[in-house]
Structure 1
Amino acid sequence: MKKLIIINGTMGVGKSTVSEIVADKLVPSIYLDGDWCWKMNPWVFSEENKAMVTDNITYLLNAYLANSSFRYLVFCWVLHRESIFDQILSQLHGDFELYKFSLICSRETLREHFAKDVQNGIRTMDALEKSYERMELYQKLATQKINVSHLSAEQAAYKIIDRIGK
């Protein structure tokens, strides 16, 4: 049976890096980052675009679920509210085992991650406060928590792999 592995967390916690490692280690797999569906210029957060992005994500996930080439689907996105999970999951078809993980960390670790991302041109420090504000939301979600404060991305990925029972 296919395994849908959803990895969420606040901006800068390391979702994309960890998810990519998980997908590289689990074969055959597909990796989808929800942020890819928001790559628009200019970036406009509107109800129309929100609906389009959600539709695109569910379309892609359903296509991967229907494709016999993949056993593992690794999907990451901020997903800071249970209602967003529900909206996406309610539109998926087929049989799959669902695994939901929230990457969490300390404020200090998040600041360090942001600083590295700034050095690498991935993000600016402007978003750090918004990311701090969302940190507590992940504690309330019905997900398995992985505290990455003292873990490398590879260590976090292996914790996820261990928990899904490859």
Structure 2
Amino acid sequence: MKVIILNGPMGVGKTAVGKYIAEHTPGTAFIDGDWCLDIHPFVGNRETKTMAVDNILHMIGNYKKCSECKMIVLVWLMDNEWVYNSIIEGIKKLELEIKSVTLTCNHTTLTDRWHNDKECPWRTDEWLKVSTKSLDYFSSLGNTLDTTNLSIKDVAEKIING
């Protein structure tokens, strides 16, 4: 069983691409890491992120046991190396195949996507500044896919076929 991990800044399209892959690939489970760290108000410290990693790995382990599940797509913003490494090591212990992709785009594209997303409550000007500042970090990672000028379908196909 393969686990596709989609990482990247807020607003880059991780959720849209992950849902597209899940909806177009029978037997695919979709996990949004934000579900596993849904504390109000939001607190993103070491304790809560450790809890979220444990929740994510528990879900992946349960999907592994399900005969109906053939693939898992995990989307989550992992801007701490220890969080990403914890997820990778946990999936390796479950003996699952891993395909990890960090989605990036240019500043203009991120801003456009941000303003066109009417569903996410995080789409404020304050969070947009945080997200655009993180573009350099995510672009520096070794497993990036620049989604500038690509449709959701194009990105999904590159991930599945690449």
For normalisation by structure 1, the TM-score amounts to 0.87
SS of the equivalent of 2:90 reads: coil
Task: Indicate yes or no: 2:136 matched with 1:140.
Answer: no
2:78 is matched with which residue?
79
Of the structure 1 ranges 147-156 and 15-24, higher mean CA displacement relative to structure 2 is found in 147-156
2:67 match:
68
Equivalent pair of 2:103/2:147 in contact (CA under 8 Å):
yes
Match of 1:17 in 2: 16
| Aligned ranges 1:9-158 → 2 under 5 Å | 9-92=8-91, 93-117=93-117, 119-120=118-119, 122=121, 123-143=123-143, 145-158=144-157
TM-score by length of 2: 0.89
Structure 1 residue 159: Cα displacement: 1.3
Distance 1:35 1:121, change over 3 A: closer
| 1:121 to partner: Cα distance | 5.1
Task: Name the SS for the 1:78 alignment partner.
Answer: coil
Offset of residue 130 of structure 1 = 0.8
Q: Which aligned segments of 4 or more residues in structure 1 are displaced greater than 6 angstroms?
A: none
Structure 1 counterpart of 2:7:
8
Q: Check whether the contact 1:104–1:135 (CA below 8 A) recurs between aligned residues.
A: yes
User: Can you give the 5+ residue segments of structure 1 that lack an aligned partner in the other structure?
Assistant: none
For the 8 Å contact 2:50–2:83, the answer to whether it is kept is: no
**What is the RMSD of the two structures over their aligned residues, measured on CA atoms?**
1.6
Specify the code of the residue in structure 1 equivalent to 2:24.
K
With over 3 angstroms needed to count, the CA separation of the structure-2 counterparts of 1:113 and 1:3, relative to structure 1, is: same
In 2, distance between residues paired with 1:147 and 1:87? 25
**Helix, strand or coil for the counterpart of 1:101?**
strand
Q: Deviations over 1:77-128 (max 9, x none)?
A: 11124332211222233332210111110100011011112x4454212101
Which amino acid in structure 2 is aligned with residue 126 of structure 1? E
